[in-house]
Amino acid sequence: MPVSSGPTRRGAARRAELLDGLIEVMLREGFAGLSLDDLAARLQCSKSTLYAVAASKEQLIAAAVREFFRRATERVEARAAAEPDATERIRAYLDAIAAELAPATPTFLADVDAFAPTREIYDRNTSAAAARVADLVAAAARPGRPVDAAFVGAVAAAVMPAIQHGRLGWGAPHDHAAAYSALADLILAGLVGAPRR
């Protein structure tokens, strides 16, 4: 007799709903100053309900941040894939990153940077995004304007963590969305500018 997957599906749906709520609260308020009681109150659930998602506040925070970046990555890739022009695909990719980071408050970004597990999640995502930018630049290179995709990738790999950690020295330290839009402008200017002499 087959076992019903109903409870499993319901459990997965409930977990996704709780992560939705956690992500929303954390993007708005950060997480370092919130206790498990605070989180349960914000989500109108019990602490035991939260413990069903993760065994501790630290694990719960890491799970929510990991899910935030997983969903963001899916949406960013979908927006880039929908752009048929190889050069504009770079802007679509970086603008999509900017859009995903736009709801993140400075408090959230500072908390992510200050907590080693979430900083490591952001580091991994930033490294993957920098490598993706290099691939997109290589795909957009055209005759008469040769672009060293590896160099652009190296620049992106240097700039993107500086954006992440608020060390860019440009604009507001935690305005990641504006910084990613400016990075798109810079890369596209190099791709579509006057040919090299």
By three-state DSSP, how is residue 145 classified? strand
Q: Is 196 left (phi over 0), alpha (psi -120 to 50) or beta?
A: beta
Rounded Cα distance, 183 and 197, in Å: 24
187 with 156: CB under 8 angstroms?
yes
Please tell me the distance from the alpha carbon of residue 183 to that of residue 156, in angstroms, as a whole number. Answer: 8
Q: What gap in Å lies between CA 87 and CA 127, rounded to an integer? A: 21
The rounded distance, in Å, linking the Cα atoms of 93 and 80 is: 5
Per-residue pLDDT of the chain (197 residues; tens, 9 = 90+): 454 555 577 778 888 899 999 999 999 999 999 999 999 999 999 999 999 889 999 999 999 999 999 999 999 999 999 999 998 999 899 989 989 988 999 899 999 999 999 999 999 998 899 889 988 988 887 776 667 777 777 788 788 888 877 777 766 666 777 888 888 888 888 777 645 44
Contacts of 130 (CB under 8 A, 6+ apart): 153, 156, 157, 160
Distance between CA atoms of residues 128 and 134, nearest Å: 10
Q: Which domains does the chain have, with CATH numbers?
A: 6-192 (1.10.357.10)
The packing angle between helices 57-81 and 36-43, to 10°, is: 50
Instruction: Go through 25-51 and write b for each residue having 16 or more CB atoms within 10 A of its CB, e for each that does not.
Output: bbbebbbeebeeeebbebbebeeeebe
For the chain, percent of residues with pLDDT exceeding 90: 47
At 65-102, the pLDDT tens digits run 999 999 999 999 999 999 999 989 998 999 899 899 88
